[in-house]
Structure 1
Amino acid sequence: MVGHPFYILDEIDSTNNYAMERVNSGQVTSGTAWFTSNQTAGKGTRGKQWVARAGDIIALSIALQPAMLPLSRQFMLSMAVALGTHDFFSAYAGDETAIKWPNDIYWRDRKAGGILIENVLRGNMWHYAIIGIGLNLNQGKFPEHLPNAVSLKQITGKNWDAATLAQELCRCLDARIRTLQMSALDTLLAEYTAKLFRWQQPGLYRKDGVVFQGIIRNVLPDGHLCLEREGEVLRLGFGEVEFVLS
């Protein structure tokens, strides 16, 4: 089960780094989770850092042996994790919660958290997935260079216990990951796209330094985004396009 065992770390540079060290040393079982609310050098996508004050965040990493999927279907795991995180966050923040492709968590047009999955391979075999999730929890405000960030406290007006909610997040992830089957791809993809930020709606994007209006038309089973621009459908991989926010 995801979150069994569940370790609480008082302070750590990065829960994903810590999880990776445990996996590489062989000192881990599938489903083990490490949590902290005091992460000093967290990792985001494309090498970005994610740092917050102690108590303000959920920083959670899970070591999972994805025996239910071949490596060619790794985007299915990404979708399941995004949906599980959406299930958790929307239970508190409501129906305005969305998934920004590929796996950020948004509330309205503001970022509440993100997901980073790092793979450990043994030859051609998918040995482990290190699932890292960061969620903004108790921040009252954010620095000026993060104008589109939002926390659960800002949405609800309440302070939250990070460790308790992290364990609940593990239960939501476990429920989603248990449903992963090859035959469930179409159903999973349909539910994922239905919860996407800007799904089938016009919005601004940036590619190769050029800002344009586009509409998300599809997400392919391998994770590529199909974005319509002036009648042409672009097939885009991770990092090839940026959402432009107001």
Structure 2
Amino acid sequence: MKLIKLDAIDSTNDFLKALASHDEPDNFTVVTAETQSKGKGQMGAKWQSESGKNLIMSVLVKDFVFDNQQVFDLTVVVALSVTEVLKSLNIPDISIKWPNDIMSYNKKIGGILIENTFKSDGRILSVVGLGLNVNQTNFENLPNASSLALIVKTQFDKEIFPNLIVEKIKQKIALWLTHSTLFWSEYFDTLFRKGVPMPFKNLENQNFMGIIQGVSSSGKVQILLEDDSVSEFDIKEVQMLY
């Protein structure tokens, strides 16, 4: 695993995408930073992180996603890799809030953002961005956020995480063709608030009650509505209220 360590950068995802557009970096090349000024979350949200306290990393994944139908497969692989590493470190009550937030109890401790680049030769290069709250303890104005240090009352060496996570990703990619059904099942089983009645908000800012049933192969959440129908929603179409 090639590791590029940066002190400060606008975005590790942007840095790695630019590197891949000009050179041919090795598969699973990793970029980390102590701080980034333009960290990104889903739907353009800004990912805020206290300098030097947390894991900020991006990893290049080649030769796994070959068409649009497989894009969410990588989300499954990465989310499960992160949750397995955290469980191995005895972080309690780990779950995945659809589509790719990492939770402990009902607090967000991490987020994943995958950006795909379609090359002229037909290849798809994926840049997996991960922010994980490790040793930060101040989350003023972020009531739903927490960190590993707050949850288990101890400080962590954040330098251990890139190798642990990338090795898990490699293992799951190697097993994907024969174990994809199992991985999808594990992803479903790990979903935050799956099977529990809870409120949601739609694009029209209307609140409604529903129960998460699962996720489609294209990554849409499947919600059982009050009329007993099941509807699928894309990430931009529904917000979970918790």
Q: If the length of structure 2 is used for normalisation, what is the TM-score?
A: 0.93
User: Which residue in the other structure is 1:159 paired with?
Assistant: 155
Q: Offset at 1:35?
A: 1.1
d(CA) in 2 for partners of 1:219 and 1:67?
A: 20
Q: Which has the higher contact order (CA 8 A, sep 6+)?
A: 1
Q: Offset at 1:95?
A: 4.2
Percent identical pairs in the alignment equals 28
User: Which residue in the other structure is 1:46 paired with?
Assistant: 43
d(CA) in 2 for partners of 1:125 and 1:172?
A: 27
Quick check: 1:32 aligned with 2:32?
Answer: no
Secondary structure of the corresponding residue to residue 11 of structure 1: strand
Q: Which residue identity lines up with residue 110 of structure 1 in the other structure?
A: K
Q: Which one of 14, 19, 34 corresponds to residue 17 of structure 1?
A: 14
Summarize deviations over 1:28-73 as a string: whole Å, max 9, x none.
1211011123222211111111122222110110111134654321
Secondary structure of the corresponding residue to residue 89 of structure 2: helix
1:24-173 to structure 2, matched below 5 A, reads 24-67=21-64, 69-123=66-120, 125-144=122-141, 146-173=142-169
Q: Which one of 200, 211, 219 corresponds to residue 215 of structure 1?
A: 211
User: Which residue in the other structure is 1:188 paired with?
Assistant: 183
Number of aligned positions between the proteins: 240
Give every structure 1 segment of 4 or more consecutive aligned residues whose post-TM-superposition deviation is greater than 6 Å.
Answer: none
User: Which residue in the other structure is 1:229 paired with?
Assistant: 225
Q: Offset at 1:114?
A: 0.5
d(CA) in 2 for partners of 1:81 and 1:216?
A: 21
d(CA) in 1 for partners of 2:170 and 2:81?
A: 8
Listed as ranges, the gaps of 5+ residues in structure 1 are none
- Whether the 8 Å CA contact 1:93–1:107 is kept in 2: the answer is no
Summarize deviations over 1:167-204 as a string: whole Å, max 9, x none.
222222222222222x5332221111000001111111
d(CA) in 2 for partners of 1:69 and 1:88?
A: 27
Q: Which residue identity lines up with residue 120 of structure 1 in the other structure?
A: T
Summarize deviations over 1:132-153 as a string: whole Å, max 9, x none.
0111111112022x11001000
Q: If the length of structure 1 is used for normalisation, what is the TM-score?
A: 0.91
d(CA) in 2 for partners of 1:189 and 1:124?
A: 30
User: Which residue in the other structure is 1:204 paired with?
Assistant: 199
RMSD value over aligned CA atoms? 1.7
d(CA) in 2 for partners of 1:20 and 1:217?
A: 35
- Whether the 8 Å CA contact 1:202–1:214 is kept in 2: the answer is yes
Name whichever of 118-127 and 198-207 sits farther off.
Answer: 118-127
- Whether the 8 Å CA contact 2:67–2:124 is kept in 1: the answer is no
d(CA) in 1 for partners of 2:218 and 2:179?
A: 14
Listed as ranges, the gaps of 5+ residues in structure 2 are none
Q: Which residue identity lines up with residue 22 of structure 1 in the other structure?
A: L
Q: Offset at 1:123?
A: 4.4
d(CA) in 2 for partners of 1:23 and 1:124?
A: 14
